[in-house]
Structure 1
Amino acid sequence: MTMQRDVHDELRARLHEAAGAHEPNRERILARIERGMAGQERTDHRATRPPLWGWARIVGATAAVAGMLAVGGYAVASAVKDDPPQQTVAVSPTPVKSPDATSRPPASPKATPSSGGGPQDPVEPSNPPSRTAESTPSAPPAAALLPATDDTEDGPLWSDGSVDPHSNDFWAQSNITLKTSEQLTALTVQLRVAQTGGVSSTGAWRSLPEDDFTLTVAEQDGFLVYTWMLKEGRTVPKGEWVFAGQYDHDRGGRDAKDDTYAIAATTDGQERAVGGDFASRDDDEGDS
């Protein structure tokens, strides 16, 4: 009984130690028990034992092992219960970015083995496929400049150019007035504002229906050019009409002496043209 108690105490100590390490190993425990029992048998027992006592020893040892395993399992469960479970966080490996067609460096020349064992000729790298250029919306093409003329009257047409009196030190509006005594089947009106510094469009309007005209605004040859073109199939009735271009400019009273306008029209199958310039600032001040 003392031998079994000693073995039991040793087993409990080892099981508690194994439970603390969280690595219980049933096979190692059984192997240690068998080795301990074999050593005790050689030292304490006599060479000859009655067969009945041998079977009793085997049955007792088996019972002791079963009891110790039960106690060991309880110790393991107690040890595991006493120690709080440690949580571990699984961290995924950092993804490796695979190079794509845009980041892959150009292929380096590769050598191919020659049949004669001599110097190897480098293979020229193949050209990478070219990307298709993305289409970007383009601004409407600038209208062709109309021929300049100083004739303000031609047949049924009459015209005049003036700077709107509401213009100020930072902003201005140039007005083109057109009078026609006949219906027009084609009409193009063009305003050319000289780039005197900071000139940029802020808008445009006309007294005729907006849907009847196509408007383009563009920088051309040092001028900000406004072009109104009557759409095909539309007409301009008899009357007096205004076409106006608005723009910012550098601070100060702007001089419009280099600004011009031109008008091309068709009436009764005949082409007509009028045009002119704008009164300079000095002329306006003199008139006042």
Structure 2
Amino acid sequence: MNEDINRRLREAAEAHRPDRARMLARVERGMAGPAVRHRARPFARSGTRVVLAGLAAGGILTTGGLAVAAIVATPPPKPTVTTPTTLPPAVSSPPPKSAHPTPVVPPPATTPGSARPTPSATATSPSPTAGESRNGPLRSAGSLDAKSTVYWTQSNLALKTTQPLTSLTIEIRIVQTGGTKNTGTWQTLPGDDFTVTVQEAGGALVYRWVLKPGLTVPAGNHEFAAQFNNGAGVRKATGDGYRVDAQGSGGSASVRGGFVPTR
């Protein structure tokens, strides 16, 4: 409301132009009026009145001018400028570092006489290639595990079947070279699905897996391993071998072969 009144007064003051000529003419007309002869004082009184009227008009004009000048001279109120508060950019906190990072545990080393060392293959191992044998739905390959040493050996049999098997017998023969002793077996299929035996016969350690009746081996890649101590001296796998006999929906199939060093 105050800002609107100030604006209107300022505009009226700027638009006002006093007519000085008209004001002087009115003063002259008042002074040139007929004099009263029979009384001198009224003339003086009239002149005095004119002078007083002039002074009053001048005072009014002066006061109005000062008021208008004061209004014009008064600067308009400055608009309130709200300065936006600039917030610092958000900084994402890095994830907290663990005070005790989980160490990477290396795989346990294979030691002679271990009954179940860490296997080097899984059920998704690649199809056998070195020394490969094929028959019907079966494909097989034998190799010496890379963890084998001069004191201990693991002989691996990789077996692939393209059909489910309702009957499966696997036999691995390890030639007795003097001091060769069984230390265990391993397979990717459930151990409870097989009857596993190890015995000496005909100058060899014979490892045998027989699938229990009523169970089925699914199609895919599987692995079986025979583990043993080598005994004295450097041992070679020249006379070692395996045989696989299986039965599936397409009939019976058999594969056999030896064990090829991996290095």
Q: TM-score by structure 2 length?
A: 0.48
- Higher RCO (Cα < 8 Å, 6 or more apart): 2
User: Which of these two proteins has the greater Rg computed from alpha carbons?
Assistant: 2
Give 1 or 2: higher helix fraction: 1
